[in-house]
Copies of this chain bind each other. A is one copy, B any other.
């Protein structure tokens, strides 16, 4: 193996740059060449690719976003798009590909591998943490800390009236960020897609808390569980409590990555290069049970990962 490509795809997540740095430097350390592919599969199709050197990844480990840029590619979902990408594989002499992204990107990579046989190693990079085969995906820890920081600040605003704060966090299909941020932030309620809830129940809990003397309540809502503004409106209607809503939105995707995300990204990136050198064909690297491991990419894609409900219940017990 002499030359590999690397791209970031889908929604970006903090720590992707640390993963790129690890792939590039580990590869060069072992005598490989690395071609950086810009704008995800779009750059792969367009040939927007160029060699990366040691210096290309200097001073990026602490930056949010991705120096390779990212995109969602409709064209790569078509056979014609992938055929063009294959031309670039041949043109640039790539013998392996590292793909950093989430589910959608991995599906594309897997199909491409099946069709053209290019060895592929995937690195999970998404703040949603909804990829099976790994306990953590790159960016999740940073996104959770961003949400927790917001909850901290909201907690500061002292009040003498019943007041309810709602913080809407990302998570269309899963409540990973909501549960972790809610537990770490000491939220009174956490609303997630995986667990049914009724507004009555939420209001009942709020009222109980205020009767016990709580000055304020914080409710964390995963966007997939409902709109923060809508839930706030319903709570106000039912309880009369003053309800204030914060929607974090895309700021959860940014920020300088935490140490955890950078270390994870560094380890996964280095392992991805090792796997390609050892002849892996279609794998994902991840961290499971505290160790860096690999899984067949197709196995990853066939499984759904959901929130640990024990942790969810713990958050509820500790917020009594």
- A binding-site residues for B, Cβ under 8 Å: 11-12, 14, 18, 21-22, 25-26, 28-29, 39-40, 42, 54-55, 58-59, 61-66, 69-71, 135, 141, 144-148, 150-161, 165, 180-181, 183-186, 212-214, 229, 244-256, 258-260, 262-263, 266-267, 270, 288-291, 311, 314-315, 317-320
Query: A290 is contacted by which of B66, B253, B290 (Cβ under 8 Å)?
Result: B290
Determine how many copies of this chain the complex contains.
4
Most interface-central of A29, A291, A318 (chain B CB within 10 A): A318
Alpha-carbon distance A271/B160, docked complex (angstroms): 28
Could you list 19 A-B pairs, sorted by A, with CB under 8 Å? Answer: A12-B159, A25-B317, A42-B160, A61-B186, A69-B159, A71-B159, A71-B161, A141-B260, A148-B258, A148-B259, A153-B252, A156-B253, A165-B250, A184-B263, A229-B229, A246-B248, A246-B251, A263-B311, A288-B290
Q: Determine if A153 and B71 form an interchain contact, defined as CB atoms under 8 angstroms apart.
A: no
Q: CB-nearest residue of chain B relative to A261?
A: B184
With A21-B318, A69-B158, A156-B63 known as contacts, the answer to whether A249 contacts B249 (CB < 8 A) is no
Q: How far is the CB of A31 from chain B (nearest CB, A)?
A: 12
In the complex, chain B residues whose CB is within 8 Å of the CB of A157: 11-12, 64-65, 250, 253-254
